[in-house]
Amino acid sequence: MAYPGTAAPRLTEGAGGTLPLLAYLALATVLMVADQRGGFASQARQHLSALAEPVWWLASSPGRLAEGAHELVTTRSRLLADNERLTRELQVNASRLHRLAAVAEENQRLRELLGGTRGYRLEAKLAGIIDVDLDPSRQRILLDAGSDDGVRVGQAMIDAGGVLGQVIEVTPRRATALLLTDPEHAVPVQVARSGLRTIAFGTGRTDMLRLPNIPQSADIRVGDRLVTSGIGGRFPAGFPVGTVEQLHPDDTRLFVVAQARPAARLDRGLEVLLVNNTLDAVDDGPPLPPPPAAEAPGEPPAENTAGADPATAPAGQGPTP
């Protein structure tokens, strides 16, 4: 409403504040449509992020430097601790090695005194498993090697864990082996800790061996490791057989019965080793003299009489003047 004496507003004065707003709205609309159609805003953000990356790298430098210093200190302290631990272990292992060397020398002297165990070496042959029979009353395996490959009846059979059994039947291309846990199998064993000798019998179970008739005063405990004693000569000495898991008195209360878990992996594995002791070649005396040289036919044997002693000449003959 216009009052008397006032000037009427002009069009340019009212539109001066509205036109920029409309221009901004139009520009914003164009930019949104262009971004929707061509993705210009995302490309611009990528370029701006690449330009801002050095700024972020400089801003994070103090944190990265602190983290690197902490890691360096931690790594150095850990290396020092590991070095100290390995030095102690090296000293302990060196002392054990010296002790083992002394024990080995003593063992060699005892073997020389006892006799009968010198000159033996271990012969091993790899064979594959074709078939496995784990019936409680018959536990045997079939091997893909036979007499043509050097397999013999009585060879001991082992795997990575320990004794598996022994070969009982051989054909030219196949061999049958009796497993350690077969009810008809027995192996002489020795307690590695105390040296007690006994016999381990199969039970028909792949997870248990039975050691009967152990004296009450025998030095055997739960957890003792059993190895082959070498008695009988069929199983080489020192191979793992099992670990004692249970001890209980027998029905007469006069002896102890032990139950052991086999060391061999009876229910898995595809290959076994057939081992046996063989004698090394030894010299039994001085070498034989060479055979005499052959003489030419019709030529009398050469006699060296030029230097013969007159005292050894036949009676009634003197030295030739």
Residues 146 and 216 in one domain: yes
Q: Mapping DSSP to helix (H, G, I), strand (E, B) and coil, where does residue 218 land? A: coil
DSSP state string for 126-153: EEEEEEEEEETTEEEEEES--GGGT--T
Residue 320 in tokens: 């030739």
Residue 312 confidence (pLDDT): 42
Per the domain annotation, does 284 fall within a domain? Answer: no
Residues 166 and 263 in one domain: yes
- pLDDT surpasses 50 at 184: yes
- pLDDT surpasses 90 at 223: yes
| Domain's final residue, options 119, 139, 166 | 119
- The percent of the chain in helix, strand and coil, each rounded to the nearest 5, is 35, 25, 40
| Domain's final residue, options 95, 119, 143 | 119
What is the pLDDT averaged over residues 156-181? Answer: 92
Burial class (CB in 10 A: 0-12, 13-18, 19+), 261: middle
More confident site: 300 or 158: 158
Residue 67 confidence (pLDDT): 82
192-212, pLDDT tens digit by residue?
999 999 999 999 998 999 999
Residue 305 confidence (pLDDT): 41
What does pTM read for this prediction?
0.52
Average pLDDT, the chain: 78
Evaluate whether 186 touches 212 at the Cβ level (below 8 Å). no
Question: Which residues are paired to 129 by β-bridges?
Answer: 143
Residues 246 and 177 in one domain: yes
More confident site: 31 or 8: 31
What is the pLDDT averaged over residues 105-125? Answer: 64
How long is the chain? 321
